[in-house]
C-alpha cells in the first residue's frame, strides 16, 4: 500500500522538527574532514512545491515552515536548516520546500556520499531527476528497510541513517525497531535518526519499549506536540529518536525547541521535550 504522498504535508511542524534535527546532525558530521555517508531509507520526492495543489489543499506548511523561516530572532541552531529553505526560495517568497535528501545535499561536501531510496511510483522519478547529475548521490527504487542490511557499514565508517516511514501500515512501528537493530548490528557507531508521529501514544510507548529492550545504548528523544495527547484521529505531536547523537545535540535541542514551540504553537498547547530513552 503506497497511498501516502509527502507533498500534502511538506513543511509542516513535523518536518520542521525532523529537518532541524537532520541539519544539526549533518553539521556535526561536517566538523571533521573525514567523509560521511548518509542513508535516507524513505527519501520522498526531494523537493515540494508549496504553491502546488497538494500543499495548498492542506495548508499544513502555513503552520510550519511559514511561521519561522523569516523570523528576525532566529536561533543560531536553525541557521543551517533555514539556509536550505532559503536556497530554494532566493527571491524571499516561500514556494518550495526541501525534503530530507535536499537538506543533506545542501549541507554535504565533495567527499561525502548519499544513498536515497524511495518506493512510490510517482515520487521516485522526481527524486531520481533531482539527483541525476550529482555523482555524490545514488537513488534507488527499493525498500528502505532492506538498505539497513545491504548498505551498512559504509566504507567511510562515519554516517547518518534517516528512517522516515509514513506509518500508513501498522507494521512500520515494529519494522523501524527491527531496522535499527539490523543497522546497529552492522554499523554500531553510526547515528540513526528515526521520525515518529504521535497519533496514539500507546503505539509510541511500545516502540520505545522495543528500543529499550534492544540493548542499544545512547538513545535520545526529542518531541514537539502541538496538542495534548488524544484518542481521536490525527497527529498531535511528532518526534525524533536519535541513536548515537552528536554530543552537542541535546544542548542544541534544549535551546531551540522552546523557541520552535512558541513560534509554531502561538496558543501554547502541547509540549516540547528532550530526554533519553536509554542513556550512555
Cite the active site residues. 164
Residue written as grid cell 534544549? 254
Residues of this chain that interact with ligand SAM (CB under 6 A) are: 2, 4, 6, 18, 40, 42-44, 99-100, 117-120, 123, 143-145, 164-166
Min. distance of Cβ 238 from ligand SAM in angstroms? 10
**Cβ-based nearer residue to ligand SAM, 4 or 259:** 4
Distance from C-alpha of 243 to C-alpha of 99, rounded to nearest angstrom: 21
**Cβ-based nearer residue to ligand SAM, 2 or 213:** 2
Min. distance of Cβ 27 from ligand SAM in angstroms? 17
Reduced to 3 states (helix: H, G, I; strand: E, B; else coil), residue 87 is helix
Q: What are phi and psi of 38, to 5 degrees?
A: -120, 120
Min. distance of Cβ 267 from ligand SAM in angstroms? 26
**Cβ-based nearer residue to ligand SAM, 115 or 213:** 115
* Neighbouring-strand partners of residue 92: none
**Cβ-based nearer residue to ligand SAM, 65 or 212:** 65
Min. distance of Cβ 216 from ligand SAM in angstroms? 22
Distance from C-alpha of 171 to C-alpha of 151, rounded to nearest angstrom: 22
Q: Helix H segments across 120-248?
A: 123-131, 144-150, 172-186, 201-213
55: left (phi over 0), alpha (psi -120 to 50) or beta: alpha
Integer angstrom CA distances of residue 33 from 112, 193, 239:
10, 22, 30
Amino acid at each position: 500500500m503506497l497511498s501516502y504522498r509527502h507533498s500534502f504535508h511538506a513543511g509542516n511542524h513535523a518536518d520542521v522538527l525532523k529537518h532541524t534535527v537532520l541539519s544539526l546532525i549533518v553539521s556535526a558530521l561536517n566538523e571533521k574532514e573525514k567523509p560521511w555517508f548518509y542513508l535516507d531509507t524513505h527519501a520522498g520526492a526531494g523537493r515540494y512545491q508549496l504553491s502546488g495543489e497538494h500543499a495548498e489543499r492542506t495548508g499544513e506548511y502555513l503552520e510550519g515552515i511559514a511561521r519561522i523561516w523569516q523570523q528576525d530572532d532566529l536561533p543560531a541552531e536553525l541557521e543551517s536548516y533555514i539556509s536550505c529553505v532559503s536556497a530554494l526560495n532566493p527571491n524571499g517568497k516561500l514556494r518550495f520546500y526541501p525534503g530530507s535528501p535536499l537538506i543533506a545535499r545542501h549541507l554535504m561536501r565533495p567527499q561525502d556520499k548519499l544513498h536515497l531510496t524511495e518506493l512510490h511510483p510517482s515520487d521516485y522519478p522526481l527524486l531520481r531527476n533531482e539527483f541525476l547529475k550529482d555523482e555524490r548521490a545514488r537513488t534507488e527504487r527499493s525498500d528502505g528497510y532492506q538498505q539497513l542490511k545491504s548498505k551498512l557499514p559504509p566504507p567511510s565508517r562515519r554516517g547518518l541513517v534517516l528512517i522516515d516511514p509514513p506509518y500508513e501500515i501498522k507494521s512500520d512501528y515494529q519494522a523501524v525497531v527491527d531496522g535499527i537493530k539490523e543497522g546497529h548490528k552492522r554499523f554500531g557507531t553510526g547515528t540513526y535518526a528515526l521520525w515518529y508521529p504521535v497519533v496514539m501514544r500507546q503505539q509510541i510507548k511500545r516502540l520505545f519499549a522495543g528500543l529499550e529492550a534492544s540493548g542499544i545504548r545512547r538513545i535520545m528523544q526529542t518531541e514537539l506536540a502541538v496538542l495534548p495527547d488524544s484518542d481521536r484521529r490525527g497527529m498531535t505531536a511528532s518526534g525524533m529518536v536519535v541513536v548515537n547523537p552528536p554530543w552537542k545535540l541535546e544542548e542544541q535541542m534544549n535551546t531551540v525547541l522552546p523557541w520552535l514551540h512558541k513560534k509554531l504553537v502561538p496558543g501554547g498547547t502541547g509540549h516540547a521535550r528532550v530526554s533519553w530513552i536509554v542513556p550512555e
